[in-house]
């Protein structure tokens, strides 16, 4: 946003307009013609000629590009340099250039997730922990939203929310969910399905305590999912709690806490050339993980 603003400014001012006077004091047009009718006609002719020439060159370039498939080659070149950057070629191959195989992945899907997560932290510009979570109540109508993954280990994937929200209500009726991570830079997606349990109060408290005070107050101010008269009402409620807890520790609201998604299925999707993508799945069978491949 800031950069774009700068560019626009430069385009209209510093670089875009015709400078009346250069830094060395010389002008764009000789002084004797400056401002006269002759300079206007001359300028108009020069400019028209320039525009006609540019259009002609542009058109010729497009014809040459199409005739010799330069555009396709450029695209292929870009892809190749992307691949290089991603590590399919040359020394220092990274795991995201290699694709996925049944025998190459970890036997443990949590470990495999950990490898990919670390690489997402390295490659994604922002919010590699953004997680899409889908739930459905007893009516079976699915709903979906983004939350932030706060921790994961062999026990599951933890996020925090308001227990009174739509997702909270749906999870109370049907404690199962599907979650999804999309990591665009490495052309990866991870899908997970499983049952959902609440984190214990101690764990939720510990996380709540780690949040900034403003976010703690926000948890009090927002009854997530409830009808709201207007934004002013939300701000007034925030102010009310700010005063109420002034000089005190903000307690964790009863209706707030974590959920842990305990997986029974994983799918690791790796984008490959020509849509020949890899999909390696894990499904919990008894005490072990069954690993198999799906068609892309």
Ligand X SMILES: Cc1cc2nc3c(=O)[nH]c(=O)nc-3n(C[C@H](O)[C@H](O)[C@H](O)COP(=O)(O)O)c2cc1C
CB of 143 vs ligand X, minimal distance in Å:
5
CB of 106 to ligand X, least distance (A): 27
Q: Binding to ligand X by residue 132, rule CB under 6 A?
A: no
CB of 185 to ligand X, least distance (A): 17
Nearest to 220 by CA among 108, 211, 229: 211
For ligand X, the binding residue among 224, 237, 264, 283 (CB under 6 A) is 224
Contact between 178 and 134 under an 8 Å Cβ cutoff? The reply is: yes
Active site residue ranges: 275
Q: How many CB atoms lie within 10 A of CB 24?
A: 5
| 12 near ligand X, rule: CB under 6 A | no
Residue 132 to residue 134: CA distance in whole angstroms: 7
Q: Contact 163/252 with Cβ under 8 angstroms?
A: no
- Per-residue binding string, ligand X, 139-178, x by CB under 6 A, is ----x-xxxx----------xxxx--xxx-----------
Joined tokens for residue 266: 């994983």
Identified binder of ligand X from the candidate list 14, 46, 102, 127, rule CB under 6 A: 127
Rounded least distance, CB 149 to ligand X, Å: 8
Task: Candidates 66-74, 138-146, 213-221, 268-276: pick the segment binding ligand X (CB under 6 A).
Answer: 138-146
Pairwise CA distance, residues 239 & 227, whole Å:
19
Shorter beta-carbon distance to ligand X: residue 166 or 284: 166
Report 43-102 residues binding ligand X (CB under 6 A): none
Tell me whether residue 70 or residue 228 sits nearer to ligand X (CB atom): 228
Question: Which C-beta is closer to ligand X: that of 105 or that of 177?
Answer: 177
Structure tokens given for 47: 């400019």
Residue 228 as a binder of ligand X (CB under 6 A): the answer is no
Which tokens belong to 220? 């009090």
Asked if 163 contacts 256 with a C-beta cutoff of 8 angstroms, the reply is: yes
Least Cα distance to 279 among 118, 101, 116, 112 occurs for 101
Neighbours of 118 (CB within 10 A): 12
Q: In the complex, which residues of this chain contact ligand X (CB under 6 A)? A: 127, 130, 143, 145-148, 159-162, 165-167, 224-225
């Amino acid at each position: 946003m800031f950069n774009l603003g700068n560019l626009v400014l430069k385009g209209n001012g510093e670089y875009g307009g015709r400078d009346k006077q250069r830094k060395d004091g010389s002008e764009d047009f000789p002084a004797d013609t400056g401002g006269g009718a002759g300079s206007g006609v001359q300028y108009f002719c020069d400019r028209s000629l320039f525009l006609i020439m540019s259009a002609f060159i542009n058109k010729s370039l497009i014809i040459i590009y199409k005739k010799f498939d330069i555009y396709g080659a450029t695209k292929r070149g870009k892809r190749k340099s992307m691949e290089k950057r991603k590590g399919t070629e040359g020394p220092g191959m990274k795991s995201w250039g290699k694709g996925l195989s049944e025998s190459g992945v970890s036997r443990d899907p949590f470990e495999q997730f950990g490898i990919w997560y670390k690489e997402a932290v390295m490659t994604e510009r922002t919010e590699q922990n953004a997680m899409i979570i889908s739930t459905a109540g007893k009516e079976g109508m699915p709903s979906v939203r983004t939350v932030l993954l706060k921790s994961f280990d062999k026990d599951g994937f933890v996020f925090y929310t308001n227990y009174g929200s739509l997702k909270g209500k749906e999870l109370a009726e049907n404690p199962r969910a599907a979650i999804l991570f999309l990591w665009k830079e490495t052309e990866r997606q991870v899908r997970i399905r499983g049952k959902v349990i609440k984190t214990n109060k101690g764990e939720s408290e510990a996380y709540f305590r780690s949040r900034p005070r403003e976010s703690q107050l926000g948890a009090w101010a927002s009854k997530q999912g409830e009808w709201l008269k207007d934004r002013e009402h939300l701000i007034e409620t925030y102010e009310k709690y700010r005063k109420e807890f002034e000089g005190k520790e903000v307690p964790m609201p009863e209706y707030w806490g974590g959920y842990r998604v305990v997986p029974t299925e994983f799918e690791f999707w790796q984008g490959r050339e020509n849509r020949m993508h890899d999909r390696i799945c894990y499904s919990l069978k008894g005490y072990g993980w069954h690993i198999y491949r799906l068609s892309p």
